Amino acid sequence: MTSPAADRSARPVIGEWVDGIDIPVINERAVRASAGILFLLGFSAWLFGVITGDLQYMRGFGILFAFEMFLRLFIGTRFTPTLLIGTLITRPQRPEWVDASPKQFAWGLGFTMALLGCLSLGWLGLPAVIAQTICAGCLLLLFAESAFGICVGCELARRFARTKPQLCAGDTCTYTPPARGERHSVE
Protein backbone atom coordinates (compact mmCIF):
# COMPACT_ATOMS: atom_id res chain seq x y z
CA MET A 1 0.00 0.00 0.00
CA THR A 2 1.34 3.45 -0.89
CA SER A 3 1.24 6.46 1.35
CA PRO A 4 -1.14 9.36 0.57
CA ALA A 5 1.83 11.62 -0.11
CA ALA A 6 3.22 9.15 -2.68
CA ASP A 7 -0.18 8.97 -4.40
CA ARG A 8 -0.42 12.75 -4.51
CA SER A 9 3.07 13.23 -5.93
CA ALA A 10 2.19 11.04 -8.93
CA ARG A 11 -0.36 13.50 -10.30
CA PRO A 12 0.65 16.86 -11.69
CA VAL A 13 0.08 19.65 -9.19
CA ILE A 14 0.87 23.28 -8.85
CA GLY A 15 3.55 23.27 -6.23
CA GLU A 16 5.12 20.29 -4.56
CA TRP A 17 4.55 17.94 -1.67
CA VAL A 18 6.82 18.50 1.31
CA ASP A 19 7.20 16.09 4.22
CA GLY A 20 5.14 17.24 7.17
CA ILE A 21 2.80 19.47 5.16
CA ASP A 22 -0.52 18.06 3.95
CA ILE A 23 -1.13 20.51 1.11
CA PRO A 24 0.81 21.34 -2.06
CA VAL A 25 3.19 24.19 -1.34
CA ILE A 26 5.48 26.57 -3.20
CA ASN A 27 8.75 28.11 -2.08
CA GLU A 28 7.86 31.79 -1.64
CA ARG A 29 11.50 32.86 -1.90
CA ALA A 30 11.84 31.29 -5.35
CA VAL A 31 8.55 32.87 -6.44
CA ARG A 32 9.77 36.31 -5.35
CA ALA A 33 13.04 35.83 -7.24
CA SER A 34 11.07 34.74 -10.30
CA ALA A 35 8.83 37.80 -9.99
CA GLY A 36 11.94 39.97 -9.82
CA ILE A 37 13.33 38.43 -13.00
CA LEU A 38 10.02 38.88 -14.81
CA PHE A 39 9.74 42.45 -13.52
CA LEU A 40 13.22 43.32 -14.78
CA LEU A 41 12.47 41.92 -18.25
CA GLY A 42 9.00 43.42 -18.41
CA PHE A 43 9.98 46.85 -17.14
CA SER A 44 12.79 47.03 -19.68
CA ALA A 45 10.41 46.16 -22.52
CA TRP A 46 7.71 48.51 -21.23
CA LEU A 47 10.11 51.43 -20.77
CA PHE A 48 11.57 50.91 -24.25
CA GLY A 49 8.04 50.96 -25.67
CA VAL A 50 7.08 54.11 -23.78
CA ILE A 51 10.24 55.98 -24.79
CA THR A 52 10.51 54.91 -28.43
CA GLY A 53 6.95 53.95 -29.34
CA ASP A 54 8.23 50.59 -30.63
CA LEU A 55 6.10 47.91 -28.95
CA GLN A 56 7.90 44.85 -30.34
CA TYR A 57 9.74 44.16 -27.06
CA MET A 58 6.50 44.55 -25.11
CA ARG A 59 4.85 42.04 -27.43
CA GLY A 60 7.74 39.65 -26.92
CA PHE A 61 7.60 40.03 -23.16
CA GLY A 62 3.81 39.61 -23.18
CA ILE A 63 4.15 36.33 -25.04
CA LEU A 64 6.95 35.17 -22.69
CA PHE A 65 4.92 36.14 -19.63
CA ALA A 66 1.74 34.47 -20.89
CA PHE A 67 3.74 31.32 -21.71
CA GLU A 68 5.33 31.33 -18.24
CA MET A 69 1.93 31.67 -16.53
CA PHE A 70 0.44 29.01 -18.82
CA LEU A 71 3.19 26.58 -17.82
CA ARG A 72 2.69 27.31 -14.12
CA LEU A 73 -1.07 26.84 -14.33
CA PHE A 74 -1.47 23.92 -16.70
CA ILE A 75 1.82 22.00 -16.88
CA GLY A 76 3.19 22.48 -13.38
CA THR A 77 5.68 24.58 -11.52
CA ARG A 78 8.59 22.21 -12.17
CA PHE A 79 8.86 23.29 -15.80
CA THR A 80 8.73 27.09 -15.69
CA PRO A 81 11.99 28.79 -16.70
CA THR A 82 12.03 31.80 -14.37
CA LEU A 83 10.80 29.76 -11.41
CA LEU A 84 13.64 27.29 -12.00
CA ILE A 85 16.12 30.18 -12.12
CA GLY A 86 14.56 31.66 -8.98
CA THR A 87 14.89 28.29 -7.24
CA LEU A 88 18.58 28.10 -8.17
CA ILE A 89 19.22 31.65 -6.97
CA THR A 90 17.51 31.06 -3.62
CA ARG A 91 18.83 27.53 -3.11
CA PRO A 92 21.19 28.51 -0.24
CA GLN A 93 18.26 30.04 1.68
CA ARG A 94 15.78 28.18 3.85
CA PRO A 95 12.55 27.70 1.85
CA GLU A 96 9.46 29.54 2.98
CA TRP A 97 6.66 27.13 2.09
CA VAL A 98 3.31 28.72 1.27
CA ASP A 99 -0.03 27.28 0.18
CA ALA A 100 -0.11 26.74 -3.59
CA SER A 101 -3.82 27.54 -4.13
CA PRO A 102 -3.56 31.34 -3.64
CA LYS A 103 -0.55 31.39 -5.98
CA GLN A 104 -2.63 29.50 -8.54
CA PHE A 105 -5.24 32.26 -8.39
CA ALA A 106 -2.56 34.97 -8.65
CA TRP A 107 -0.97 33.29 -11.66
CA GLY A 108 -4.41 32.99 -13.27
CA LEU A 109 -4.79 36.74 -12.79
CA GLY A 110 -1.36 37.26 -14.39
CA PHE A 111 -2.24 34.97 -17.28
CA THR A 112 -5.48 36.87 -17.88
CA MET A 113 -3.67 40.22 -17.83
CA ALA A 114 -1.02 38.88 -20.23
CA LEU A 115 -3.69 37.65 -22.64
CA LEU A 116 -5.51 40.99 -22.48
CA GLY A 117 -2.26 42.85 -23.13
CA CYS A 118 -1.32 40.59 -26.04
CA LEU A 119 -4.81 40.81 -27.54
CA SER A 120 -4.85 44.59 -27.25
CA LEU A 121 -1.47 44.80 -29.02
CA GLY A 122 -2.34 42.26 -31.68
CA TRP A 123 -5.74 41.18 -32.91
CA LEU A 124 -7.78 43.95 -31.32
CA GLY A 125 -5.48 46.69 -32.59
CA LEU A 126 -6.25 48.99 -29.66
CA PRO A 127 -4.17 52.11 -29.03
CA ALA A 128 -0.74 51.44 -27.55
CA VAL A 129 -1.58 53.32 -24.36
CA ILE A 130 -4.15 50.65 -23.42
CA ALA A 131 -1.64 47.83 -23.74
CA GLN A 132 0.97 49.91 -21.91
CA THR A 133 -1.49 50.53 -19.07
CA ILE A 134 -2.33 46.82 -18.78
CA CYS A 135 1.40 46.04 -18.83
CA ALA A 136 2.10 48.72 -16.21
CA GLY A 137 -0.56 47.21 -13.93
CA CYS A 138 0.97 43.78 -14.32
CA LEU A 139 4.44 45.21 -13.63
CA LEU A 140 3.14 46.91 -10.51
CA LEU A 141 1.88 43.54 -9.23
CA LEU A 142 5.24 41.91 -10.06
CA PHE A 143 7.10 44.70 -8.27
CA ALA A 144 4.90 44.39 -5.16
CA GLU A 145 5.60 40.64 -5.09
CA SER A 146 9.34 40.84 -5.62
CA ALA A 147 10.18 43.95 -3.57
CA PHE A 148 7.70 43.79 -0.70
CA GLY A 149 6.51 40.18 -0.71
CA ILE A 150 2.93 41.33 -1.27
CA CYS A 151 1.02 39.00 -3.57
CA VAL A 152 -2.13 40.91 -4.50
CA GLY A 153 -3.66 37.87 -6.21
CA CYS A 154 -2.99 35.81 -3.08
CA GLU A 155 -4.69 38.45 -0.93
CA LEU A 156 -7.73 38.40 -3.21
CA ALA A 157 -7.82 34.60 -3.07
CA ARG A 158 -7.45 34.67 0.70
CA ARG A 159 -10.34 37.11 1.13
CA PHE A 160 -12.77 35.47 -1.28
CA ALA A 161 -11.90 31.75 -1.21
CA ARG A 162 -14.24 29.28 0.41
CA THR A 163 -11.30 27.43 1.91
CA LYS A 164 -8.83 29.77 3.57
CA PRO A 165 -5.13 29.09 2.92
CA GLN A 166 -3.20 27.37 5.67
CA LEU A 167 0.29 28.71 4.96
CA CYS A 168 0.77 32.32 3.89
CA ALA A 169 3.91 34.30 3.15
CA GLY A 170 5.20 36.10 6.22
CA ASP A 171 2.66 34.17 8.32
CA THR A 172 -0.04 36.67 7.30
CA CYS A 173 -2.74 33.99 7.62
CA THR A 174 -2.46 33.95 11.40
CA TYR A 175 -0.51 37.10 12.30
CA THR A 176 -2.42 40.12 13.57
CA PRO A 177 -0.35 43.30 13.54
CA PRO A 178 -0.48 45.52 16.62
CA ALA A 179 -2.89 48.43 16.68
CA ARG A 180 -1.60 51.78 15.52
CA GLY A 181 0.70 53.26 18.11
CA GLU A 182 1.38 49.92 19.83
CA ARG A 183 4.81 48.34 19.71
CA HIS A 184 5.59 45.04 18.05
CA SER A 185 6.50 42.27 20.45
CA VAL A 186 8.32 39.03 19.88
CA GLU A 187 6.61 36.14 21.63
| Structural domain contains residue 162 | yes
Q: Are 145 and 32 in contact (CB under 8 A)?
A: yes
| Per-residue pLDDT band at 77 (split at 50, 70, 90) | confident
| Structural domain contains residue 8 | no
| Structural domain contains residue 186 | no
Nearest to 140 by CA among 55, 68, 64, 42: 42
pLDDT digits (tens, 9 = 90+) for 13-58: 688 888 888 888 999 999 999 999 999 999 999 999 999 988 899 8
Split into its structural domains, the chain has a count of 1
pLDDT above 50 for 185: yes
Taking 3-state DSSP, the helix, strand and coil percentages for the chain, each rounded to the nearest 5, stand at 65, 5, 35
pLDDT digits (tens, 9 = 90+) for 79-93: 899 999 999 999 999
| Structural domain contains residue 81 | yes
Residue numbers of the domain that contains 78:
22-171
Q: Is 55 left (phi over 0), alpha (psi -120 to 50) or beta?
A: alpha
